[in-house]
Chain A
């Protein structure tokens, strides 16, 4: 049973725009929510992560927004660049256990 639902499956954004990817989870025991970025031919790499004691975390142009009551979290990419074109995965885990991944979003940023 898929416990982390991710949307949209694909996203096309113009250079300079804002990319938004959403995830929803079911297990209220989850306490760690990372986002991974994957370029073609490469494995996923950790981009940014958040724990539920904060509602937002920002690193450069990347921001995670977290809504504990709605059991949702999202990735915002500000000033999107063609180099951001990649597949993005959200994930969740609890107490250092194994990660459960979302289905992935293929982001294309047009020049």
Chain B
């Protein structure tokens, strides 16, 4: 399967712990996105990379959240000092685009985070 993969698929943690999620995009895709989705809502944009550069961060992304894409391939999303309000599905998506073009995104299955 050459789609977007995310690990782990599920994560249960205690409040105050740190968690890290990984996303492996489709190999030739240069753009990578992180979203958060809660029940009854659509995906909310968190951050976006073009190659290894993080070009935009949502105001939703507090200083407890950090994302990296060190070699322009896989990406990690870390949440420090988790809070119960961080419980959600974290989605990763990738796409291929250059300049001002904007193409459809391919989504991974998500990582479901539960903070106790």
Genuine A/B complex: no
